[in-house]
Amino acid sequence: MTTLRIATRKSQLALWQTEHVATRLREAHPGLQVALVPLSTRGDEILDRSLAAIGGKGLFLKELELAMQRGEADCAVHSLKDVPMELEPGFALAAILARGDPADAFVSNHYADLAALPAGACVGTSSLRRQAQLRASRPDLQLRDLRGNVNTRLAKLDAGEFDAIVLACAGLQRLGFGERIRARLDAPAWLPAPAQGAIAIECRSDDPQTQALCAALDDAETRSCVAAERAMNRALHGSCHVPVAALARREGSQLLLQGLVGAVADGRSVRAEAGGAAEAPDALGLRVAEALLAQGARVLIDGL
């Protein structure tokens, strides 16, 4: 292979992440040529409706997968939190890079943190998971949808459309906006999306050469943590339609997984956590999902 072609979305964050992967691949394989193949996806183009309303996060992947099928790209780079729990047949995750900051960020020009917001303040986020946790901690707030890339969301905050917005810490840090983070929304009080902060490389499952090249960037600890989170989400049939949150961390040979299912309407939620062997992340994810269901998670999910 003379040149590895990487399909990517055109957003500034997606391009940063893909350039980061390209740099890492060149370092791992001296002499390898890497070229970006920027593409527009339906998820990027339709910004007047929530992802849940237009078909889910898989909309960010489809065009990139089609480019690989047509032979126009060898692999694609994604934010792993946007990757559906089940990949389309014929595709595999060749690498999951070492995770960035998994936390959510409270961003505001006038208020230091969530508790400092005045009664009835307007907070922007289109994530049902974030809305459910905001509703649980501050039922007085006005929650309004906010989509678009990081720059667009910050511009709307700066224009005075919102008192605060909630974004991913990793995205802000990668684009050089780390100073905009007024407060980190941390576990255990607040949980992120499954696999938040992790970058994944997807390729065709019948392309061992590309898989081998990308595998050099795989981070075993991150892979086991996000596998537990995604297994929990899969068992709950979670998607952007369902407010599901999860965070796993490695402690020695063990993984500790925290999970949450919430309700946007009234902030009700159920939580569970468990530990298990790092070599068996799927079993741990299933166990936490079963604990959530035993506490009534299905009622919250079906009530959406």
Which residues are part of the catalytic machinery? Answer: 82
CB 183 within 8 A of CB 106: yes
CA-nearest of 233, 291, 234, 224 to 256 is 224
Angle between helices 208-215 and 12-28 (to 10 degrees): 90
Angle between helices 150-158 and 12-28 (to 10 degrees): 140
User: Could you tell me which residues come within 8 angstroms of residue 27 by beta carbon, excluding any fewer than 6 positions away?
Assistant: none
CA-nearest of 9, 15, 19 to 43 is 9
3-state helix, strand, coil in the chain (%, to 5): 40, 25, 40
Q: Locate the DSSP E strands across 60-179.
A: 75-79, 91-96, 104-107, 122-124, 142-144, 164-168
Could you say which DSSP state residue 80 is in?
A: G
User: Could you tell me which residues come within 8 angstroms of residue 285 by beta carbon, excluding any fewer than 6 positions away?
Assistant: 227, 228, 229, 230, 231, 232, 233, 234, 235, 246, 257
H-run or E-run covering 246: strand 244-251
Q: Token pair 């599901």 is at which residue?
A: 244
What b/e sequence results for 269-281 when a residue is b if at least 16 CB atoms lie within 10 Å of its CB, and e otherwise? bbbbbbebebebb
β partners of residue 204: 91
DSSP labels for 112-133?
A: SSGGGSPTT-EEE---HHHHHH
